Amino acid sequence: MTAPTIVALSGGVDSAVAAWLLVRAGLEVEALHMTNWDEDEDGYCTAADDWQSARAVADAIGIPIHRVSFAEQYRERVFADFLAGYAAGVTPNPDILCNREVKFGACLDYVDRLGGGHLATGHYARIVHHPSGPRLQRAVDKNKDQSYFLQQMPRSALNRALFPLGELPKPEVRRLAREARLPVAERPDSTGICFIGERPFKEFLSRYLPPNPGPILTPDGEEIGRHDGLMFHTVGQRGGLRVGGLKNHSDLPWYVAAKDAERNALIVVQGKDHPLLHTREFSTEPMIWMIDPPDHSFLAEVQIRHRQTAVAAQIDWSAEGARITLREPLRAVARGQYAAVYRGDECLGGAVIR
């Protein structure tokens, strides 16, 4: 008896179409809905609506649906790291950690408990099979490509992951949802932090980390304002600084150039193209490879944000981490961000920027 394919059904249009495509292809399919954030004091959590939408999709397609909560795993493996990063003045990316620890960690383990084989999701990415094993590649729709968020998923999970939307542009996914009369065909795409959703970020973060005011300084050490806490700002940010119209300074807007945790100081500069906002070299924590590790020095492309154009770079790596030298400077590189390494459309792996 063939093990069923389990689809992570979120309640959104992407996972719904992924499930429908697999059913249409003749596979035995079951759905699994994850509820991983159990706080709703402020009314921003959409977990209840998501569950009802997922149930409606499963009913429309005619597949059984299971429900599970990984709230404890999410808090321990993702959210705790998220808070520790902001408390230390870095810029974490919980979506990447969530894919590694929850969607292709705890969830894949639960698929085994259900007797499932493959785990399918609505990610826009592709898996291409080579003699040496499966490879993670960008989606056909480069505007929606989510391979950057999958750079840390366990390599072993590539053998069991399915991304049915990898070959499709987003407008086609919407069209298929309407054609199949899926009840979420017109539901807006979800945004915000993985599982937590879209909400006022400063207000949300303040519930877990106390304000820690400090000075806003120019590179020369001049104090031109005060901030409420380093965690509320990121490198390259313009808004929310509440500085401007200062004597002996131009009218150019101010941008965050660095966060000095030792002095609890925010370092700011004027002008979008100020040299201190651009980086040619940076180091990383140990690399997580999606392939057999390449030579210790090689040429590739590096991407530090979703939807950002990858930049050619030399990668010099060891077990302790990597040194990345960019052919062209990147703007607003920040500690705690993830650097994904690509060769063409193939994601080779990635690491946290140190």
CA distance 91 to 212: 16
Q: How many CB atoms lie within 10 A of CB 262?
A: 6
Q: Is 45 a catalytic residue?
A: no
> What are the beta bridge partners of residue 5?
29
Q: How far is CA 232 from the centre of its chain?
A: 19
Q: From the candidates 45, 107, 194, 347, which is the catalytic residue?
A: 194
**Tally of residues, the chain:** 354
Element (H, E) at 340: strand 338-343
CB of 4 closer than 8 Å to CB of 30: yes
Q: Which residues contact 137 (CB under 8 A, 6 or more apart)?
A: 125, 126, 127, 128, 147, 166, 345, 346, 347
Which of 97, 119, 122, 121 has the alpha carbon at shortest distance from 110?
Answer: 119
Which of 208, 225, 262, 222 has the alpha carbon at shortest distance from 89?
Answer: 262
CB of 6 closer than 8 Å to CB of 121: no
Q: From the candidates 45, 98, 107, 347, which is the catalytic residue?
A: 98
For the record, the structure tokens of 258 come out as: 């660095």
DSSP 121-166: ---SEEEEEETTEEEEEE-SSTTT--GGGGTTS-GGGGGTEE-TTT
CB of 31 closer than 8 Å to CB of 58: yes
CB of 247 closer than 8 Å to CB of 319: no
Q: Is 98 a catalytic residue?
A: yes
CA distance 49 to 23: 24
Active site residues: 98, 194
